[in-house]
Amino acid sequence: MLTSQQKVTFATTPDFELGFEHGSRQTDYFISLPENKAQSQLQGLVVYIPGFGDDAGDYRHVFCKKVAEQFGLAALTVDYHCFYSRPKNPESTVYEPEDIALIEKLFLTFKLPFSGNTVEEGLDFLNAYLVKSKQAAQITATLLPGKNEYQNGGVMQALDIINAVGHALQTQNISADNVILVGSSYGGYIANLASKFAPKTFRAVFDNSSWANPHFGYIVGREKGFAEFTSCRHSHIQTNFYLRSAWTLKKGLPNTFDGKRFHVRAFSQAQIAQFAAYQPDTYYYFIHAENDKVAITEDKVQMARQMIAHNLPVQMEVIEAADVDGRYIKTIGHGMDLSMLTFFERAYTHIQTHQVSLENDFTQQSVVRYDSAECRYQFDFSSLPVKGQVICFNMTNPTEQLQA
């Protein structure tokens, strides 16, 4: 079965958390459709969500085309917020004042004269010295994403997925009762978060090795000393890259990453209880390595148990070293170098008898709310793009609500 792929630009939710709710934002998705679908309705939509490091490759397009060819389903992938997070061109590197101070310290340590008109020229000079002296050094920098965005930590990314699905269902002849999210690592986390914000929209989430709570390295990595990515652009200098983020741990600021920001991004017992109250129909299929050091296995097992305790349909496979077969599961590390197409094929068999309603959050014009402490996150599906809002309660008079 032949397929065609289209690039679609659509409106999506602006950053309401930081006060840009009245602005506008657009991004793109790429949708693969079987060419011989004629006028018949496509029997579902698969959304492939790549994780960090996989966002600039071609695999997501290959995956979508193969799903369209083999299953006769529409398949799309989204340029979600802060996509192209690891560009390789030197122009994407930003040296913050503390990074420059570290480079200057290296010059002083090696008793070198300051050289070069730019930071890069200075690093070339430093690297030449290290090559001659057979030494090595480490520096830090910020990696500017390819679309000049900033890391949000999941909320905008999940809403990009939701809005792309809403747009595709609105503009294509696709059955709304078979929408499946597929993601690995950070992509799996975004898939779960999208299902949390849109509890009536997805038939299934197929998740390979995502974490149960937001990853602080992707939110406040520089402040936590967590380098998301390392590279040796200079042969003897390792650059530890932090992500460009809008958040800080400093208290009392408009962009402080505090409790309410954390909880809406988490799958704690309290948040899962609120999610379950919407009586979601989504089937969850998780696969995870037994000792994942990136997405902690114990946290994910606890998340699955809490979901099951609230009568949510969850199947979780914990992979052991003996399960490595070199074809489907290639390693026992994070992500297991899993064949995501094979993963989809196997997971898809588990939902053949799992039915959901054609009515979803878009047709029902849902208003989905999550509370934590004195604040509420609210997602309004009455129109596209979905409207996001943070509402804070006046603790003197809890019935009074003030928009953040």
Residue intervals of the chain classified under CATH 3.40.50.1820 are 3-85+148-214+265-362
HSE at residue 144, side-chain half, CA atoms within 13 A, is 10
Strand partners, 391: 376, 403
Compute the distance between CA of residue 198 and CA of residue 369 in angstroms, rounded to an integer. Answer: 10
Residues 6+ apart with CB under 8 A from 7: 28, 29, 30
pLDDT digits (tens, 9 = 90+) for 286-323: 999 999 999 999 999 999 999 999 999 999 999 999 99
Q: pTM for the complete prediction?
A: 0.93
pLDDT digits (tens, 9 = 90+) for 99-117: 999 999 999 999 999 998 9
The per-residue pLDDT for 148 is: 85
Compute the distance between CA of residue 136 and CA of residue 223 in angstroms, rounded to an integer. Answer: 25
pLDDT band of 277, cuts 50, 70, 90: very high
pLDDT digits (tens, 9 = 90+) for 330-382: 999 999 999 999 999 999 999 988 888 889 999 999 999 999 878 999 999 99
The per-residue pLDDT for 87 is: 75
The topology (CATH level 3) of 3-85+148-214+265-362 is Rossmann fold (3.40.50)
